Amino acid sequence: MQGTVVVAVKVLLAFALALAGGATSSLVAVSHKSLCRLISLAAGTLLGVTLFIIVPEAFEASQEASLPLWHLAVAILSGYALFSLVSRYVFHVCPACAASHFDEAATHHFSEIATAMIVALGLHSTLDGLALAWGSDAETAGDVGASLLAAICIHKIPEGLALGALLLGAGFSRLRVVAWVAAVEATTLVGGALGLWLLPQAAGAWMDLVLAHVGGGFIFLASHAVFGELVRHGKRLVVGSFCAGVLLIAIIHFALH
């Protein structure tokens, strides 16, 4: 019961931050430079939590279960490939990344791509919720849970801001913007519930491989966001914010480890 409450609090916090970001962007104009700084910081936290937390934990679990190393590699590559394919053929899985690709012409056809966007972003947010549930498990809690929570929550703020800005640019009213952001980000809650259901049924090593798959998706999000922003903004702003995100997760991890 306590674990369920912890997961519920975490996914609700992530959902609330994304919703707050969406509401803010619907009321206040956010410059792309400011959003770029937040996007790059968030990308760094996602990469940091993957490198310092998810991959080492999954590797240790696979070694304890005597699973071949290629299982871990496939899990990471499959997560990267899934997000890459969805972004290429459906819609960008991260609205913070999509903000750099959503041009004025696209806003006139928003209704045509709305379903695809919801599917893509719903997948992304579901995996966020799944990761939060995994980080709250008794065997992975502590520094793992704190680092995961920090990375995902930091990422949710520019995610909500970018999604709100896209919807507002597409001609949606402020109220509809907030409603759409809430609907899309509610899949984070679905992911948390899914994680609570899967954790008791999945062997530890296999659940860690699932999270390695999520980590592969995080690597795609981090790299795609940073390279997208480098094209439009100065390298110092992007690289500095990105490195600050990686460093933040490193500090949290090694301080609590």
DSSP string covering 4-71 = HHHHHHHHHHHHHHHHHHHHHHHHS---HHHHHHHHHHHHHHHHHHIIIIIHHHHHHHHHHTT--HHH
Looking at residue 209, its amino acid is L
Alpha-carbon distance 240 to 44, whole Å? 10
Q: Quick one: pLDDT at residue 236?
A: 80
Is pLDDT above 60 for 60? yes
- On whether the CB atoms of residues 53 and 253 are closer than 8 A, the answer is yes
The answer, yes or no, to whether residue 138 has pLDDT greater than 50, is no
Mean pLDDT, rounded, of the chain: 80
pLDDT given at position 81? 94
- Per domain, the residue ranges of the chain are 2-24+37-256
Q: What angle do CA 62, 65, 66 make, to 5 degrees?
A: 80
Rounded to whole angstroms, the Cα distance separating 82 from 215 reads: 12
Which tops the pLDDT comparison, 98 or 205?
Answer: 205
Residue range 162-185: average pLDDT?
A: 84
The answer on pLDDT for 117 being more than 90 is no
The pTM score is 0.82
pLDDT of residue 187: 93
> Quick check: 21 and 158 in contact, CB under 8 A?
yes
SS3 37: helix
Query: What are the tens digits of pLDDT across the range 207-229?
Result: 778 888 889 999 998 888 777 66
**71-75, 111-115, 140-144, 206-210: least confidently modelled range:** 140-144
Residues 23-38 pLDDT 10s: 998 887 777 777 778 8
Query: Residue 206 CB: number of other CB atoms within 10 A?
Result: 16
- The predicted structure's pLDDT at residue 39: 82
Closest to 150 (Cα-Cα) out of 255, 1, 31: 255
Number of helices (H) and strands (E), helices first, in the chain?
A: 12, 0
Under a CB-based contact definition with an 8 Å cutoff, are residues 42 and 96 in contact?
Answer: yes
